[in-house]
Amino acid sequence: MKPVERRLLRELPVLRRHMTYSAALALFGAGLVVAQAVLLATLLADGFAGRGSGIVLPTALGGVMALRALLVWARGGLARRAAADAKHALRDRIARRLRHTGPLDLAARRHGETATLLTRGLDALDPYVVGYLPTMTATAVVPLTVVAWLGWTDWASALIVVVTLPLIPVFGALVGMHTARRTARQWRLLARLGGHFLDVVAGLPTLRAFGRERHQTRVVGEMADAHRRATMRTLRVAFLSSFVLETVATLSVALVAVPVGLRLLGGELDLRTALIVLFLAPEAYLPLRAAGAAFHDSAEGIAVAERVFAILDEPGDRSADSGDGTRSAASQDTRPPHPSRRALLSLDEVTVHYADRAAPALHQVSLSVRRGEHVALIGPSGAGKSTLLALFLGFVAPGVGRVVVGGTDLADLDADEWRAQVAWVPQRPRLFAASVADNIRLGRPDASDAEVREAARAASADLFVEALPEAYDTVLGERGAGLSAGQRQRIALARAFLKDSPVLLLDEPTAHLDPESEAAVTRATVALMRGRTSLVVAHRTSLLPHADRIITVRAGRLTPAQPPLATQLVTS
Amino acid sequence: MTPLTAGATTPQPPRHPTRRLLRHLLPYWRRLLPAALAAAGSELAAAALMATAAWLITRAAQQPPLASVSLAIVAVRALALGRGALRYADRLLGHDGVLRAVAGFRTRVYEALVPLAPAGTPAFRDGDLLTRLVDDVDAAQDLLLRVLIPGAAACAVAAAATGTAAVLLPQAGVLLGLLLAVAGLLVPALVLALSRRAGHTEQAARGELAALTLDLIEGAADLAAYGAQDRAHGRVRHASARIAALERRKALTTSLASAVVLLCQGGAVVGVTWLALRAHADGVLSAVHLTVLAVLALVSFEALAPLPAAARRLSEVRASAGRLAVLFDRPPPVVDPPRPARLPVGGPVGVDIRGLRVRHRPDGPWALDGVSLRVPPGHRVVLLGASGSGKSTLIAALMRFVPYEAGSIRVGGRELREVSGADARRAITGMTQDAHVFHASIRANLLLARPDATDADLSEAARAARLLEWIESLPDRWETHLGGDGSAMSGGQRSRLLLARALLADPPVLVLDEPTEGLDPRTAAAVLTDILDATRGRTTLLVTHERSGLAAADQVVTLTGGPHPAPEVICQ
């Protein structure tokens, strides 16, 4: 058993239970197999001898066979239930792991694989749980029971079975070792040839663009043919193991049956015993034959389990805070933040260094934003503006220095409680696969319909929302499909309006918008900033006139920019 | 509530998709028939082995001279060896035949996809759909290997067993045939009907889980900022539990089928033995045939064991076949004129677009509504516009990937509608937004654009795209294998590679669609500057939403509007 399998069994009690049930049912099943063989042999031997058998024996035989059917039903049902529960448990653990991963980490790393694993990938465990595990327990239980009974009935036949039975795993392992070497060599070639069709289909638009699509028709056929030849080279060897298994098993039946026949000829054996031996001998080999096939199917499940554990074992995020409020020592005395009169948001000699980058994202940065002040951040992309906002959101923890909000170090606060006072509008807000109204309600799930409409109106989102097929009840597609970038931005602003929090963090709300949308979003943003402490990353100039102070971020350092002329006119 | 993105044109599900899939595979019957025969032979050998052994034992119990059973002894040994050999042959022949059939089918699917790329089917816009499409093609493999071949073997065994039984004792033959029909035909048919019905609910639940998981991962920051993480996680957990509950419910019905097959086996064994015992008592049936009949009833059901699983697989194959049938039925978005005109190529060519109107569905909104644009020969025109303003649609119309309903596109004075698509793309091509990097060497990826290019041409194009230094710094240089959509290189290198390919193609009109998509602003500006440098003197249409790095362009034009307002081109 591989370490992964041991860990699966250790960490999922449902699988341990499943193994126990399977062993018990396999033992019961072996008993029924013996009973069926004995009953049928007795019935036939009685008939052969001309003795009337009455009704008891056939009824008992029918009962035993019905019980076997019932057993198969129970075994399959329990196994599939165990698989469903095991997958649910693993999904839950992966989801919990995601909950404890910082949002920026989730966004930065490609988690498409995790999503696939959560939805379809785990199904590869089905053959492992439903087929492989019960078969393995049966291998341990059934041959032993059957051989014991055989030995008691006719030790000579039992001896043949005992001698030939170990040949199956031995030959299987020998052939397996040989094929493993050959398959490993073939594997890369097979993967490349097998992936070719997907590659060509994915590149079909490009092939057409350069007039090469017809040429590739022939290549598709040739590559599929090469794939077939390579696969067959591997299979010719791989199927040898099943050939050996099958032949040893059937040949052993012949090895048992022929001497039994000869002994019957000599009068050394009675027909009943001979028939019992004939019926039981194949049953001793059956689990081992099934194990060979199940082993083949289990590989993918084990690979999936390995991937799951790799995700669960990933070291914590690069930011100290995972945003779940389960922070170590510091979180013991969490207090609600008290916004001080003077500086509401401040950075004190903060340096942020991402593990995957050479230069620090922010270098010894100090900043303080007064209550009600509007501060704009400008500067080239990648200079550290978004990192600055992420610091105040608690998505990133400073390597050196302190982030102070309302007079308290953010590291001493419960992140969720602090975020309740902050509204954030990112560059590309995420809209969820829910109704428009529920998307606006993100921060306040209990808001009334009237409040949602009011927030949408304030964000100038009301007109286009009402034009949607079902207005606020329209369910948005994936990533807010069906809405333009500007419309998505205005829904995000409506979210912020509805949340009505005293602090506002905006990350280039007008980037990627056409001029018309930009004007509408700017209007809504300015309305939102009114009366709120705002830190705005503004690439475009349209928001700058509304800032009290403009700060340039360049290569991780801050320099104050000249206040624009418009400042005195606009600020309230 | 209705989903906003539900396709307005849901095509009718095609009729008899499995039959249509089979029609594609049947030409390979010459390869598949021997496999089916070997499979049937292997199953027959297994059943005959037990029946002959039973005959041998019972006959021996009558203690005749050795000579009268010697043939049976030979037969038992031969069948035991033959069973394994036939099984090996069945698996090898089966896989070989099936892989041949699938290779042929892949070519057919590829040919069907060619006129649809990229606008004719959503698969080219969605990686998941594309992967599923390729998996669907491979489902053909299972139809043959897991459904038809085991089905044929089961039929052969059932027919042979019923025939033999009927010859020995007609009423036993009738009973056995009846029960075999229930287990082999009725049960799989019920499984097929049930899994088709259960599939829909489960698919919906799985789709929901997938959407929620994606929200959880991609929207982590938005959820954290709005304190909605716990709610989102609760929803994921709920969806996961719902799938587990559905699977648990399905567990019992799934294994019920195998149980019913066993029940039929029990009924057959008891019933046939009972009939045989009575016939034997009446002196109609010999004692030897009594055992043979009982054993026939016992072993003939073993070939039926894979059928319930085959029926479940068939229902999945049917879904795959349905999706493929939809694909085969799809009309190509652009049809070549019956007598295409030649496009005069040679010398500098200009493009003149007037009043162009394009929409993606016959009843849909206009994606381009009256666009006019002139690219004079040898000029580099930059087309600016926000995402969704129709820039890519314009490029697709120029390359004849989507049809235009009104207006005109004239290239070198010839209306584009009157020339063949291949000719149009010989004149107008370059870098499309979905440009693909193939799993192949750098050289192969570039040569695609011009198969007869010399090494000097390749170096020249790479130098112009400022990629040459990087290529020559690689250990394998031009032979470096690029894998997984070019994931071995950075985004900037990928863009430069696609640019080098477009430059190598050197079409009379070069189009470049968002060559800096996904690059950070500094790299984007550098790439844009290089592009404008490299295209000096060529007729070029460059589409981008970047506004910096365009100083060298001959003309900059803005495309405004989104999916809703009517777009138009404003010339500066």
Q: Could you say which of A76, A424, A476 has the minimum Cβ distance to residue B258? A: A76
Residue B277 forms contact with A (CB below 8 Å): yes
With CB atoms and an 8 Å threshold, state whether A228 touches B87: no
Is A228's CB within 8 Å of B276's CB? no
Given B273, B389, B505, which is nearest A210 (Cβ)?
Answer: B505
Q: Nearest CA to CA, how far is A568 from chain B (Å)?
A: 30
The whole-angstrom separation of Cα A179 and Cα A181 is 5
CA distance B496 to B527: 7
Partner-chain contact A278 B50, CB within 8 Å: yes
| One-character DSSP codes across A40-56 | HHHHHHHHHTT---TTH
Interface test with B, best of A228, A229, A235 (most B CBs within 10 A): A228
* Among the listed residues A358, A356, A364, A368, the one whose alpha carbon sits nearest the alpha carbon of residue A399: A364
* H or E segment to which residue B26 belongs: none
Distance CA A76, CA A33 (A): 18
Q: Which amino acid is at B6?
A: A
- The partner residues of A422 in beta bridges, in order of sequence, read A503
Q: Do B80 and A247 touch (CB under 8 A)?
A: yes
Chain B 532-561, CB below 8 Å of chain A: which residues? 545, 560-561
B-chain residue closest to A51, CA distance: B281
B281 CB neighbours in chain A (<8 A) are 47, 50, 52
ipTM over 0.85: no
> Residue A343 is inside which H or E element, if any?
strand A343-352
Nearby residues of B310 by Cβ (< 8 Å), 6 or more positions away: B146, B147, B150, B151, B188
B44 Cα to chain A: minimum distance (Å): 13
Which residues on A lie below 8 Å from B84 (Cβ)?
243-244, 246-247, 250-251
Nearest by CB: B244 against A88, A199, A265: A88
One digit per residue, the tens of pLDDT, for chain A of length 572 reads 678 888 888 888 999 999 999 999 999 999 999 999 999 999 999 988 888 768 889 999 999 999 999 999 999 999 999 999 999 999 888 888 887 777 766 665 555 667 777 877 788 888 889 888 898 888 888 999 999 999 999 998 999 999 988 888 888 777 777 766 666 666 667 777 777 888 888 888 888 888 888 888 888 888 888 888 888 888 887 788 778 888 888 888 888 888 999 899 888 889 999 999 999 998 998 888 888 777 777 777 888 888 888 888 876 544 433 333 333 333 334 444 444 445 588 888 878 777 666 677 778 888 888 888 888 887 766 677 777 888 888 887 787 888 778 777 777 777 777 888 888 888 778 888 778 888 888 888 887 888 888 888 777 777 777 777 778 777 776 555 566 667 787 888 888 888 888 888 888 777 656 666 677 778 878 887 888 888 888 766 677 777 788 888 777 777 776 554 444 433 33
Can you tell me the distance from the alpha carbon of A130 to that of B73, in angstroms, rounded to the nearest whole number? 39
Contact A84/B248, CB-based, under 8 Å? yes
What is the spatial distance between Cα B416 and Cα B342, in angstroms, rounded to a whole number?
10
B406 in Cβ contact with A534 (< 8 Å): no
CB-CB under 8 Å, B561 with A443: no
Report chain A residues whose CB lies below 8 A from the CB of B83. Answer: 246-247, 250
CB-nearest partner of B130 from A43, A202, A239: A202
The reply to whether B29 touches chain A by the CB within 8 Å rule is no
Which of A109, A208, A395 to mutate to test binding with chain B, by most B CBs within 10 Å of its CB? A208
Kindly give the pairing relationship between strand A408-409 and strand A343-352. Answer: unpaired
Contact B87 A243 (CB under 8 A): yes
User: Contact, B229 vs A323, CB < 8 A?
Assistant: yes
User: How many residue contacts between A and B have a Cβ separation below 8 Å?
Assistant: 450
CA–CA distances in Å: residue A161 to residues A247, A257, A291, B61, B335: 14, 11, 18, 22, 70
Nearest Cα to Cα of residue B349 among B449, B266, B429: B429
A265/B50 touch (CB, cutoff 8 Å), yes or no: no
* Residues of B in Cβ contact (< 8 Å) with A52: 281
Tokens for A399, please give them. 């390597």
B-chain CB neighbours of A274 within 8 Å are 57, 60-61
Mutate which of B240, B288, B428, B548 to test chain A, going by most A C-beta atoms within 10 A? Answer: B240
Question: What is the rounded CA–CA span in Å between residue B425 and residue B163?
Answer: 65
Flag if B226 and A495 touch (Cβ within 8 Å): yes
A55 to chain B nearest CA, in Å? Answer: 10
**CB atoms B280 and A47 under 8 Å:** yes
Probe site for chain B from A64, A197, A229 (most B CB atoms < 10 A): A197
pLDDT at B568 (0 to 100): 40
Instruction: Name every chain A residue with its beta carbon within 8 A of the beta carbon of B360.
Output: none
Residue A565 burial class via C-beta count within 10 angstroms: exposed 0-12, middle 13-18, buried 19 and up? exposed
Closest partner residue to B106 (CB to CB) among A197, A236, A469 is: A197
CA separation, residue A392 to residues A228, A335, A368, A409, A510 (Å): 58, 17, 12, 11, 21
* Amino acid sitting at position B168: L
Whether the Cβ atoms of residue A359 and residue A556 lie closer than 8 Å to each other: yes
Select the residue of A40, A76, A464 nearest B255 (Cβ to Cβ).
A76
Q: Please check whether residue B255 touches A, CB under 8 A.
A: yes
Tell me whether residues B69 and A202 touch, CB distance under 8 A. Answer: no
Contacts of B259 in chain A (CB under 8 A): 69-70, 72-73, 76
Strands A503-507 and A422-425 turn out to be parallel
Say whether residue B430 is in contact with chain A using an 8 A CB cutoff: yes
φ/ψ (deg, to 5) at B431: -115, 110
The whole-number pLDDT of residue A108 equals: 57
3 state DSSP class of A113: helix
Preferred mutation among B66, B261, B291, B516 to probe A, highest tally of A CBs within 10 A: B291
* pTM of the shown model: 0.78
Q: CA–CA distance from B107 to each of B27, B327, B407, B445 (Å)?
A: 14, 14, 37, 22
Cβ pair A481:B4 closer than 8 A? yes
Interface test with B, best of A97, A113, A116, A442 (most B CBs within 10 A): A442
Low-confidence ranges of chain B (pLDDT < 70): 1-13, 127, 345-347, 386-389, 483-490, 517-522, 548-549, 560-572
Q: What does the alpha-carbon distance between residue B407 and residue B404 come to, in Å, rounded to a whole number? A: 7
By C-alpha distance, the chain A residue nearest B522 is: A381
Across the interface, of A47, A221, A232, the residue whose CB is closest to B290 is A47
Chain B: residue nearest A193 by CA? Answer: B439
Q: Do B206 and A225 touch (CB under 8 A)?
A: no
Tell me which residues of chain B, numbers 459 to 518, contact chain A at a CB-CB cutoff of 8 Å.
485, 501, 505
Asked if B315 and B202 touch (Cβ cutoff 8 Å), the reply is no
Interface test with B, best of A119, A213, A275, A314 (most B CBs within 10 A): A119
Query: Which distant-in-sequence residues (6+ apart) come within 8 Å of A375 by Cβ?
Result: A367, A369, A534, A535, A536, A547, A548, A549, A550, A551
